[in-house]
Each structure stands twice: as structure tokens, then as C-alpha cells.
Amino acid sequence: MTDEADVDEMVEDFDRLRNAPANMTDDDFDVAADGWLRTEAAATYDALKADPSRDIPAEVVRAEFKAMWAAR
């Protein structure tokens, strides 16, 4: 199962993406998103395939996001 630090890193990645500069063009966003998919997302996928015990059930992820959202 993925540890809390991994979840925190995913949340930070989401926050960076969500808080992208307002003046970022669609092309800039596409380049950034493509780079993230090819590096961080691909590495995470490969690690999960190599060690399925890192899997986090969707219900757990939803509950963690719901709790973080409520704590805001």
C-alpha cells in the first residue's frame, strides 16, 4: 500500500496543476501535462505494476481527499 508521503506528494502535484498561472496558454498546459504524464505518472505506474501491494483502494483515496477538503 502506498504510504502517506506518496499521497501527500500526489496532492501537492494536483495543487501545483490546479494553481497554474492564469496566463498559462493551453499549449503550455499541454506541454506541462504531457511531461508529467511521461515522467512522474509513468514512474508511479511502473512502480505499482512492479509491486501491487502499493495499491490504494479508490475508497481510501476518496476518504482522504474528502477529509482534507473538509479540513480546509
Consecutive H or E run containing 42: helix 42-50
Total of domains in the chain: 1
What tens digit of pLDDT does each residue of 18-57 get? 767 777 788 888 888 898 899 888 988 999 999 999 888 9
**Count of C-beta atoms within a 10 Å radius of residue 48:** 14
Asked if 16 and 22 count as a contact pair (C-beta separation under 8 A), the reply is: no
Asked if residue 24 belongs to a domain, the reply is no
Asked if residue 27 belongs to a domain, the reply is no
Q: How many whole angstroms separate alpha carbon 60 and alpha carbon 48?
A: 16
Those residues whose C-beta lies under 8 Å from the C-beta of residue 54, and which sit 6 or more positions away, are 1, 2, 6, 47, 48
pTM higher than 0.75, yes or no? no
Asked if residue 44 belongs to a domain, the reply is yes
Phi, then psi, of 37 in degrees rounded to 5: -60, -40
Asked if residue 52 belongs to a domain, the reply is yes
| Domain span at 53 | 1-14+39-72
Asked if residue 51 belongs to a domain, the reply is yes
Asked if residue 45 belongs to a domain, the reply is yes
